Amino acid sequence: MRIEFKDVSVSYDELHALAGFNLTVGSGESVAIIGPSGCGKSTMLRLAAGLTAPSSGVVLADGEPITHPRQEVALILQDYGLLPWKSVLANAELGLRIRRMSRKLARERAMAALQQVGLAPFARMRPKELSGGMQQRLALARSIALESQVLLMDEPLSALDALLREDLQDLLLETWLERHHTQILVTHSIEEAVFLGQRIFVMAPRPGRVVAQIDNPRVGEAGYRSSQEFFDRCTQVRDALHEGGAR
Ligand code: ADP
C-alpha cells in the first residue's frame, strides 16, 4: 500500500505542527523519519493512521484519502498499547477479534505471530510479566497477526537498552524483508534510521517540514551494520540533522 502526503499542513491555533509537507512512501518501502522533538513526526504518523485530519492538503492510501483508521494500517506506539489484564495471547489476538474473526482462526493466527517473534512459550502470561523488549515483540506480533500492509512506528524501541534494541531492530528488519509491508519508522536514533530506512527523511521544526532526504539503498544487505558505508551514512544523517537545526 502506497502512502502519500500532498502539501499537508496541520496547525494547532498559531502553531504549525506541519507545513507544506510532501512525502510519498512506495508500496513495500521502508522509510525512517528523524528530527528533533516537536518537528511534527508523531503528527505525521497520526495522519497516516487516520487519527488526525490535515488542516489543508491530503493524505492518501493507494490514492484514496485517509479519513479514518483502517484495518490495513497498524500504528505501534512507544507504550505498546497492551491491555494489562489480558494474556499475551489475548493481546496478540485483539485486533483480529475486534475485526470479528472467529475465535479459532484468530487464535491460530495470533499463535503463529507469537511464534515468529519468539513469544509462543509466554502466551499465557500477562504483559506485566514480560520485559520491555518482550512487550515490544508482542506489539509487533499483534500487527503481524493482523497482516497489516502498513506498519507505522513511533519511537518503538526507545525504552530499551542498547543490545536489546539491536535485537529488536534485527527482528523488525527480518519481518520487513519477509513481508515487505510499507513501513514508516519514527526514531531519534541515527543508527536505527540507517539500519532500517531505505530512505531517511530529516525533519526540522517550526514549521515541521522535511529538510533533507538521504537514500540508503543497502538496507537489508548482510553485514551492512558493520560496513564503512553504514558509518558514512550515519555521518551524513548527523550532518543533515545539524544543518536542519541551525536553519
Ligand atoms: P514530534 O513527534 O516530532 O515530537 P509532534 O508531532 O508530537 O512532534 O508535535 C509537533 C508540534 O505540534 C509540537 O510543537 C507539539 O507541541 C504540537 N502539538 C502536537 N499535538 C498537539 C495538540 N493536540 N494540540 C496542540 N499542539 C499540539
Per-residue pLDDT tens digits for 128-168: 999 888 888 898 888 888 888 999 999 888 777 888 888 88
**What would the pLDDT profile of 1-48 be if each residue is shown by its tens digit?**
999 999 999 999 888 999 999 999 999 999 999 999 899 999 999 999
188, three cell numbers: 531519534
Q: How confident is the model at residue 106 (pLDDT cuts 50, 70, 90)?
A: very high
Q: Which residues pair with 9 in a beta bridge?
A: 56
The closest residue, in CA terms, to atom 6 on ligand 1 is: 40
What does the pLDDT read at residue 246?
A: 46
The more confident residue out of 140 and 225 is 225
Q: How confident is the model at residue 227 (pLDDT cuts 50, 70, 90)?
A: very high
For residue 168, give the 3-state DSSP assignment: helix
Interatomic CA distance for residues 123 and 89, integer angstroms? 5
Prediction pTM value? 0.90
* Cα 148 to ligand 1 centre (Å): 26
Q: Which residues pair with 183 in a beta bridge?
A: 30, 151
DSSP-derived secondary structure letter, 181 = -
Shortest CA distance to 237 belongs to which of 52, 83, 35, 15? 35
Cell numbers 507505522: residue: 152
Q: Which of 8, 11, 12, 201 to mutate to test the pocket of ligand 1 (most atoms within 8 A of CB)?
A: 12
Q: Specify the amino acid at residue 191.
A: E
Query: How is the chain split among helix, strand and coil, in percent rounded to 5?
Result: 40, 25, 35
CA atoms within 13 A on the CB side of 25: 31
Q: Are strands 199-204 and 209-215 parallel, antiparallel or unpaired?
A: antiparallel
> Above pLDDT 90, what percent of the chain?
68
**What would the pLDDT profile of 43-68 be if each residue is shown by its tens digit?**
999 999 999 999 999 999 999 999 99
CA 13 to chain centre: 28
What is the pLDDT of the chain when averaged over all its residues?
Answer: 91
For ligand 1, which residues put their CB under 6 angstroms from it? 12, 15, 17, 37-43, 208
Instruction: Please confirm whether the linkage preceding 207 is cis (ω < 30° from 0).
Output: yes
DSSP-derived secondary structure letter, 188 = S
